[in-house]
Structure 1
Amino acid sequence: MYRFLFVSQIKVSNSALVSAFMKELEPESPVSQCDFDRLKLSTAPFMERNLEFMIGCMDGLSSEQNKFQYYYRNLGRQQSQQQAWLQKRRQENMSRKAAGEEPLPEEDPSNPIFKPLPEPSRLEGYLVTNQISSYCNHINGVAGQSFNRLYLMKALQED
């Protein structure tokens, strides 16, 4: 008795070199429309959307920078008030010493100008900056691909 082994599917594959050689042996085939569709140059919707998102992020970054400018402006104002108060207190202590009285302490913790101002968080600015970097990388990638397509189309039109 004979036993038969039935194989339902046979798959033949070639190495990359054999495939390239076979491609070289084929006659020149005209480029189909589907091949030109890959060279589509319109990336306007993607670019427009990413630029709108980046503009929104730039507005957010601007507001974060305004918070820091406001903080440093107030910090400078507070330091100048502290210096003026200390100068006034030193003059007052000199006059008290001349009058034979005990000098007052130079720093008054109950005075609101000596309370430290809370520094704004840098996390939000850092997150916005990373988001802007991400949008820039996306735009850079699409623009690079578009330039490659443009150069390829120019070469095809010259031939």
Structure 2
Amino acid sequence: MEMMRSLRHVNIDHLHVGWYQSTYYGSFVSRALLDSQFSYQHAIEESVVLIYDPIKTAQGSLCLKAYRLTPKLMEICKEKDFSPEGLKKACVSFEHMFEEVPIVIKNSHLINVLMWELQEKSTVADKHELLNLSSSNHLEKSLQLLMDRVDDMSQDIVKYNTFCRNLSKQQQQKQQVQSPLLVLLYTLSSSSVASSLQGRLSPSSRSEWLKHLITCLRTRAQYLQRRQQENAQRQSRGEPPLPEEDISKMFKPPQAPPRMDTLLISGQINNYCQNIKEFTSQNLGKLFMAEALQGHNS
């Protein structure tokens, strides 16, 4: 982004196909990249982001990829609905966030001549990095980044589970207060309730049912007490009191945590796993080749 701003400051065309970002070990799936690409793609529909990995390129494999946001993700970003219901309705997962665009590198004839001349003038150096069998540093760094993202995912899962428990607890309390049977039982005395249950339930079942009933009645009594206090405050401010049947304002649903960060973390974890899989497969090929050469020489 800084380079694109610098090109714009010196009046050089900086909107050819979008923008680019240099990254290490494939760590590019982030909220900053999502917001930037959405801004570019919203203004220019054909815009793409180029991802360049200098570490992987230095190992002998040019790592240059182009990505775009999928149409489903563009609609979600426009509506800014990152709730679990919104993402579920749009059927968006971490696998459907970015779409890769194929890249074809073309050089002009002058560039090809220049590269040929530089190749002829350059001296051949003894470089054997491509044959190096040591992969502990690269693999260790990739695994460390992967574990960090897994920890972030674990924290997001804990937040979402806490939200689900709070929502379930609130819905249970709301049902206890709204139950018509509880309203009827609330008007009866405990002796009449006990006598009506006599002979219909076993002693243990009757005891458990009465404990549950007492808990529900206490919940309703607490609600009525809070509603009376709220109505007293509203009357002091000159506002009309709220009816006891309207409990929507008393039980406000807890705010769901945004799920977009979880999708980004999942996409980054998947990217790390793919890079580790590709890197280990290449090194396994080198190890088998070295083993075959050693066996042939012996």
- The alignment's TM-score, normalised by the length of structure 2, stands at 0.36
Per the alignment, residue 151 of structure 2 pairs with: 59
CA contact (8 A) 1:61 1:129 kept: yes
Counterpart-to-counterpart distance in 2, 1:92 and 1:69: 32
1:139 matched to 2:276? The reply is yes
Aligned to 1:48: 140
1:37 deviates by 5.3
Looking at secondary structure, tell me which structure has more strand per residue.
2
Pick the structure with greater CA Rg: 1
**Match status 1:92 vs 2:229:** no
Q: Report the aligned-residue RMSD.
A: 2.3
SS at match of 1:119: coil
Question: Within 5 Å, which residues of 2 pair with 1:1-159?
Answer: 38-87=130-179, 90-92=181-183, 106-111=245-250, 113=251, 115-159=252-296
Ranges in structure 2 where 5+ consecutive residues have no aligned partner: 1-125, 188-242
| Alpha-carbon distance in 1 for matches of 2:292, 2:127 | 15
Deviation >4 Å, runs of 4+: 34-37, 93-96
Q: CA deviation at 1:139?
A: 0.7
Contact conserved, 2:167 with 2:254, CA < 8 A, in 1? yes
Does the 8 Å CA contact 1:86/1:107 hold for their aligned counterparts? no
Q: How many residues align?
A: 116
C-alpha distance in structure 2 between counterparts of 1:93 and 1:42, whole Å = 77
CA apart distance, 1:91: 3.3
- How far 1:35 moved relative to its partner? 8.2
Distance 1:80 1:42, change over 3 A: same
1:52/1:72 CA distance change after superposition, 3 Å: same
Counterparts of 1:68 and 1:42 in 2: how far apart (Å)? 41
Instruction: Name the CA shift for 1:156/1:36 in 2 (closer, same or farther; >3 Å).
Output: farther
Match of 1:7 in 2: none
Deviation, structure 1 residue 108 = 2.1
Are the aligned partners of 2:176 and 2:182 in contact in 1 as well (CA < 8 Å)? no
- Alignment match, 1:18: none
Question: 1: CA distance between counterparts of 2:185 and 2:162?
Answer: 36
Structure 1 position 116, deviation (Å): 2.0
- Residue 138 of structure 2 aligns with an amino acid whose one-letter code is F
More helix by share: 1
TM-fit CA distance, 1:75: 0.7
Offset at residue 107 of structure 1 (A): 3.8
Superposed displacement of residue 58, structure 1: 0.4
Deviation at 1:38, TM superposition (A): 3.3
Long gaps (5+) in structure 1:
1-33, 97-103
TM-score by structure 1 length?
0.65
Q: Does structure 1 retain, via aligned residues, the 8 Å contact 2:150–2:269? A: yes
